[in-house]
Amino acid sequence: MLAKKMETALVHQVYEEMYSFYLYLAMAEYGVGEGMPGLHHWMRNQALEELSHAIKFMNYIAEKGGKAELKALQSPPKSWKSAKSVFEEALKHEQHITDCINKLVDLAISLKDHSTVNFLNWFVAEQVEEEASAQGVIDMIKLTGNAPGGMFMVDRELAARPAAPHPLMPATTV
């Protein structure tokens, strides 16, 4: 059973993950509007990944006897000044999520909630990947400078991101 304080904090993280889902969907739509199918693809996959994170939290809360109540989501931004600014905001957002996860770990440690610490360790490692991924795209964009066709090449690279598994469908096993 979860301590009430831990349950409340985990429920708030469901909100954070759902907002991440919503934010990345908005960024994907920016890609559509800018004629950047690669950016759209990359962000749509990122959104699905964030939705899967929210579901992992909800499942864990339920397994521990708690209840994950959903809260209304804040509206995400609708536009950005460039693809680079999209990824800069994504990086800033992932840094925020890293801080949230770290605070959850700190709380679980203070409560001597070893199973929650174990559960959260996956997210600690995941956040390293999330920040590095966004930073990698920013670095690619910077490398292009003002080269003609540079963003076209970056967009093609973004389109090569493997599709994320659908978060509501069970993974197949072979």
144-167: average pLDDT:
88
Share above pLDDT 70 across residues of the chain, in percent, rounded to a whole number: 96
Report if residue 55 sits inside a domain. Answer: yes
Q: How many structural domains are present in the chain?
A: 1
Report if residue 9 sits inside a domain. Answer: yes
Q: By residue range, what is the domain housing residue 46?
A: 4-71+79-159
9-20: average pLDDT:
98
156-165: average pLDDT:
88
Report if residue 174 sits inside a domain. Answer: no
Report if residue 172 sits inside a domain. Answer: no
Q: What is the pLDDT of residue 164?
A: 76
Give the tokens for residue 150.
């540079």
64-85: average pLDDT:
95
4-14: average pLDDT:
98
Residue 169 has pLDDT above 70, yes or no: no
Provide the CATH number for the domain around residue 32. Answer: 1.20.1260.10
33-43: average pLDDT:
96
Share above pLDDT 90 across residues of the chain, in percent, rounded to a whole number: 89
Report if residue 85 sits inside a domain. Answer: yes
Residue 119 has pLDDT above 90, yes or no: yes
Report if residue 40 sits inside a domain. Answer: yes
Q: What's the 3-state SS for the chain?
A: CCCHHHHHHHHHHHHHHHHHHHHHHHHHHHHHHCCCHHHHHHHHHHHHHHHHHHHHHHHHHHHCCCCCCCCCCCCCCCCCCCHHHHHHHHHHHHHHHHHHHHHHHHHHHHCCCHHHHHHHHHHHHHHHHHHHHHHHHHHHHHHHCCCCCHHHHHHHHHHCCCCCCCCCCCCCCC
Residue 41 has pLDDT above 90, yes or no: yes
How do residues 55-71 score in pLDDT, each as one tens digit? Answer: 999 999 999 999 999 99
Report if residue 173 sits inside a domain. Answer: no
Q: What is the pLDDT of residue 174?
A: 45
Report if residue 171 sits inside a domain. Answer: no
